[in-house]
Structure 1
Amino acid sequence: MTTWRTRIEPFTRPLFFAVARASRGMTLGVRGVAVDAHGRVLLVKHTYLHGWWLPGGGVERGQTAEDALIREMREEAGLIVEGRLALLSVHSNERHFRGDHVLVYRIDRFTLTDRTSHGEIAEVGWFDPHHLPEDTHRATRDRLAEVFAGADRAASW
C-alpha cells in the first residue's frame, strides 16, 4: 500500500537534504604519519601557521579521504604513497571549527620526489617521534604520542 508520504518523498527529498546539510554541516580533514626506514616521522612547517605539523589538509567534494591524503602528501612533502593507507584514528576538531573532523593515517611505504605545491610549506623535515622539535604543535605531539608512546587516543583534536 502506498501512503501519501511515499508519494511525496521524491519531491521532499531535496529539501530534506538541504536542511540536513545546513543543520548538520561537517568538514573533513586528513593527516598522515609517514614513517621512514629509520623510524622518523615526516613533519611540515606551513608559511601561515606556527610550528611543525603532520602533513595533510581538507577532503574536497568528490574525493575519498585516502585520495585527499595522497594528494596532500605529494603537494606538501613530495611523498608518493605506495600501497594502502592504514587508518589510525578519527578526531573531532570542534574546538577550532564547528563540525570539523580529522582522520589520521599511517604511511609506511612511499617514495620521495619534488613537492608539487610551493608557497604553502616553508620546511619539510624527518624527526625521531620521541625527540620532536620544541615548536611542534600540540595536536601533532598528541597524535604521535598515541602512535608511538601508547597514549590513549583522544576523541578531540
Structure 2
Amino acid sequence: MTTKTRTAITIESTVQAPVAKVWDYWNKPEHITHWAFASDDWHAPKAENDLRTGGKFSTTMAAKDGSFSFEFGGEYTDVKEHKLIEYTMGDGRKVSVLFTTVEDATKVVETFEAEDENPVEMQREGWQTILNNFKKYTESH
C-alpha cells in the first residue's frame, strides 16, 4: 500500500482582537454561521461544533439561491485552548490552525492538505477568502 503525499497549503491573517475573542468567534456555532463562506452569494445556515479532542464538527455551506450546498466537517485530533486546533476532514485530509498573540492582535495560521480535484492556487484563494471573512466579522463585532 502506498501513502499519498498531499500538498500542504498555508494561509494566515492577523485579527485585531484578543485571542479569547478570536477563539470564541472561530469555534462557536452562532459566530461560524456569519463567516464560514467564500463569497457573498453563499452563506453558512447551520454549524455544529463539539470542540474537544475526539469531538466532531459540521458546517453547512450553501449557495443563497438554493442551487448547491455541502457539509464541511471532520473530527478533532488535538485541541489546546487559545493555541491550537488540529482535525481530520471527512475525506481524510488534515488541518492545523495555530492562534498566536501578537501585541494586541491574534495571528491565525491555517495549514491544510490540498485535495486532488481543484488547482492548489484555487484552494488557497478559497480558504484565504473564508479566513478574510472571519477577520472582517471578528473585527467588526
Q: TM-score range by the shorter chain?
A: under 0.3
Give the number of the structure whose alpha-carbon radius of gyration is greater: 1
With structure 2 as the length reference, what TM-score do the two structures score?
A: 0.26
